[in-house]
Structure 1
């Protein structure tokens, strides 16, 4: 592990220091003040930006009333910096500081967030942008947009939501959707539905949806000029909500997913499961319009206003209606750019991950078992590994692998390189990766409530 980290370093490596403090306090979401936990005084937390090959040195001070950690979502980093308590590090106790230090090997759009309980569904998150020194940068400006579903500090907190789900199932105070199998007294209940998601659209009812920490009534404004080319870095950090993202009447050219380039494709909207990121380029129109994230199947939305001059007559509600009627592109169907396609190779090991639930009111499993850090999927360094995500449920599951990127196996063309793949109901998705980063690596559903109710396991390097 340390030898691999040293191999990633260079004599002239730049060190990028970052100081973070996780603490409770009030946050203004735009006329809505909530008491939540965040990194500093804002949601999202401070954007971290560095270049591929730089060394990130991040000191986290824990001023929360419970232990915490940081997971650097999507980064193929050294295992002991991955931020999973009881698996890769001890939890960071209240009143103490922990230093994360690792090389960022791959450019792209990433996220940082805790990996303790339901802390992800509070305000503890931020964007991590790793720039490519060799990229030509065929755009004039960048806009990073983080979409989130919000419940913390509105009379409930995420711990209460999870407790309600476990006690009462998805018909209790915390929930409103999901597979009905094993759910007593729930027959006939109408769940939120999405054709794009292939069925149920979520378990949890949220009072607010935010873009860059702002509700739509007080949306962030991005100042631009007509004709400018803007690179959008779009992130879904939601706990239970997929977002359909677009600008009415303005096509997006999708260029990357989960940090890795794809063959460019034009799309009116893109669909982001929790934990997924998509980069796209747009040309700003000659009037101000919203960049909208529709809470897929849930009847809500958030947006950022693209302010380029005269205000469009298109209201946000009209934009939502327009975009909801347009085709959407799911990242799983994209094609990897030639330079990031894995070499064709027969897998040395194949692991099936059968996704099931919710049984016993609210239990989600992989291969019939809830999470146990001592059980894992064995792999050996140097192997080509194939994971088969078999979704037996009526809900979508964004499945995330720590410490690696995989290639989605599509029938005729090389699928995208990703670390989070949205597995639709009653479908199977196969992904391949090279076992080149030894350690114990979590793989799990990025619906925070599914993961905390058991849908996690470990890719375990052995031998």
Structure 2
């Protein structure tokens, strides 16, 4: 198959998928948004051709989009119609530890309720934490849009989920899940691009005012370099956290797996082409369509920015406690042995058990956390990447800043550490409980590049 492309967008009501209101998702009598993990058949090839058997958090054909309000309770009910248990995590959400990662056994009689109040406004997502390589590549995820407590006038939402599916010529998902060579190598790289589970979609911009593009990279491993042809969007948020507004100035927006970005764009300058910079090629993946009669919105104020979220500030550098995280594994990644289930194992034994990556010499979660922090303590993590690959590392339940650069960056939930480099991030441990740190490359998280830390009261 030749490389091609994908799409994603938004909705209305409490949940939305694609442009249609609820796409069969249910708001129950007791006020829960009901999400079913279920099988669906998608037409991902050109003009909707092909039959791709997918797993979705909703009936499809588009990804599920959940809408919530900052500071107001969100009531979710998960029902697993698949034949295996799933573990789901709310990526980027700083909610309570016992609810941000939940187990949903198969069967309608094992529905799991999740009720919490999102502290932050922004673009987040819900995706698997177990069998990530298979489940994410089959499409099992949802976007969580948390709207600001005070609505921002003049903006309409358009959610776009970028993905790359690994498909055979007939549109079926290609095999090799669990392949050790894939796990220790680049990962499960797709060959077919979509936005919102469609090939080269045409997505409507708002006729008046600004369209707020909420973009998620849902791919297993591919970093997306998204280009806009015909306009210069304004970046206003990353990973659900506001950033100082900045025009792209013709450059791509770069999103590692699991990263999100919010951008402002208007329909006043006509249609916009969406493309991926593949370095050896550029692939068109979709179009943003300007309705006829679109008007130019009022200019943004010079000091425009999204309101900040209540993320705890960092302490002074002298008061931070330093913790070193060493990433090893993969091809030419320096891993010869690691602890697995509490016992040292050589590389051959690790590979036989589906592991090939480690943090601080431990492959996968262990009985002992990587470190323990006291509530209110600022932790500086010096992340040393000894592997041969760039590593997007994600933190649960908190936001961190890169502090090994001046000035420190904005609060985010993911940092990309290039091969052979060390990056320092810092966060204030204000959310008690057991949390995880892991690669956002699905195969590497499955393969051991995941650990835990504890925040005590």
TM-score range, shorter chain: 0.7 to 0.9
In structure 1, how many angstroms separate the alpha carbons of the residues matched to 2:156 and 2:115? 29
Matched, 1:115 2:129: yes
- Residue 347 of structure 1 deviates from its aligned partner by 4.3
Matched, 1:20 2:35: yes
Q: 1:237 aligns with which of 218, 228, 239?
A: 218
- Provide the alpha-carbon RMSD of the alignment: 2.7
In structure 2, how many angstroms separate the alpha carbons of the residues matched to 1:152 and 1:144? 24
Matched, 1:382 2:380: no
In structure 2, how many angstroms separate the alpha carbons of the residues matched to 1:61 and 1:97? 5
In structure 2, how many angstroms separate the alpha carbons of the residues matched to 1:140 and 1:59? 29
Give the conservation status (yes or no) of the 8 Å contact 1:35–1:152.
no
User: Equivalent residue for 1:136?
Assistant: 152
Q: 1:392 to 1:366 in 2, by over 3 A?
A: same
User: Equivalent residue for 2:313?
Assistant: 342
User: Equivalent residue for 1:255?
Assistant: 236
In structure 2, how many angstroms separate the alpha carbons of the residues matched to 1:388 and 1:264? 28
Which structure 2 residues correspond to residues 39-438 of structure 1 after superposition, within 5 A? 39-83=57-101, 89-95=102-108, 96-118=110-132, 119-134=135-150, 136-137=152-153, 139-151=154-166, 154-156=171-173, 160-164=175-179, 166=180, 169-170=181-182, 178=185, 202-216=186-200, 219-225=201-207, 228-267=209-248, 268=250, 269-294=252-277, 296=278, 301=283, 303-308=285-290, 342-345=313-316, 346-358=318-330, 359=335, 360=347, 363-376=356-369, 377-438=371-432
- Residue 297 of structure 1 deviates from its aligned partner by 5.4
In structure 2, how many angstroms separate the alpha carbons of the residues matched to 1:132 and 1:410? 31
Moved more, 109-118 or 41-50: 41-50
- Residue 410 of structure 1 deviates from its aligned partner by 4.4
Q: What is the CA deviation profile of residues 81-134 of structure 1, one whole-angstrom value per residue up to 9, with x for unaligned ones? A: 122xxxxx5552444211111111110111111222121221111211111123
> Normalising by structure 2, what TM-score?
0.76
Q: What is the CA deviation profile of residues 115-159 of structure 1, one whole-angstrom value per residue up to 9, with x for unaligned ones? A: 22121221111211111123534x4422211111213785546xx
Instruction: Provide the secondary structure at the position in 2 that maps to 1:431.
Output: strand
- Residue 247 of structure 1 deviates from its aligned partner by 1.0
Structure 1: which 5+ runs fail to align? 1-14, 84-88, 179-201, 311-335
Q: What is the CA deviation profile of residues 60-83 of structure 1, one whole-angstrom value per residue up to 9, with x for unaligned ones? A: 111101001321111001111122
- Residue 45 of structure 1 deviates from its aligned partner by 3.1
In structure 1, how many angstroms separate the alpha carbons of the residues matched to 2:104 and 2:413? 24
In structure 1, how many angstroms separate the alpha carbons of the residues matched to 2:280 and 2:199? 15
Q: What is the CA deviation profile of residues 293-329 of structure 1, one whole-angstrom value per residue up to 9, with x for unaligned ones? A: 44x458674633111269xxxxxxxxxxxxxxxxxxx
In structure 2, how many angstroms separate the alpha carbons of the residues matched to 1:342 and 1:304? 39
User: Equivalent residue for 2:343?
Assistant: none
Instruction: Provide the secondary structure at the position in 2 that maps to 1:414.
Output: coil
In structure 1, how many angstroms separate the alpha carbons of the residues matched to 2:61 and 2:31? 22
Moved more, 337-346 or 48-57: 337-346
User: Equivalent residue for 1:441?
Assistant: 435
Q: What is the CA deviation profile of residues 264-310 of structure 1, one whole-angstrom value per residue up to 9, with x for unaligned ones? A: 1111221000111111112335332223344x458674633111269
Structure 2: which 5+ runs fail to align? 1-29, 293-306, 336-346
In structure 1, how many angstroms separate the alpha carbons of the residues matched to 2:224 and 2:410? 19
- Residue 224 of structure 1 deviates from its aligned partner by 4.1
Give the conservation status (yes or no) of the 8 Å contact 2:314–2:426.
no
- Residue 239 of structure 1 deviates from its aligned partner by 0.7
> Normalising by structure 1, what TM-score?
0.75
Give the conservation status (yes or no) of the 8 Å contact 1:224–1:307.
no
Moved over 6 A (4+): 336-341
In structure 1, how many angstroms separate the alpha carbons of the residues matched to 2:90 and 2:238? 16
Give the conservation status (yes or no) of the 8 Å contact 2:67–2:145.
yes
Q: 1:379 to 1:44 in 2, by over 3 A?
A: farther
Give the conservation status (yes or no) of the 8 Å contact 2:187–2:221.
yes
User: Equivalent residue for 1:316?
Assistant: none
Give the conservation status (yes or no) of the 8 Å contact 2:206–2:266.
no
Q: 1:205 to 1:437 in 2, by over 3 A?
A: closer
In structure 2, how many angstroms separate the alpha carbons of the residues matched to 1:80 and 1:461? 13
Give the conservation status (yes or no) of the 8 Å contact 1:243–1:293.
yes
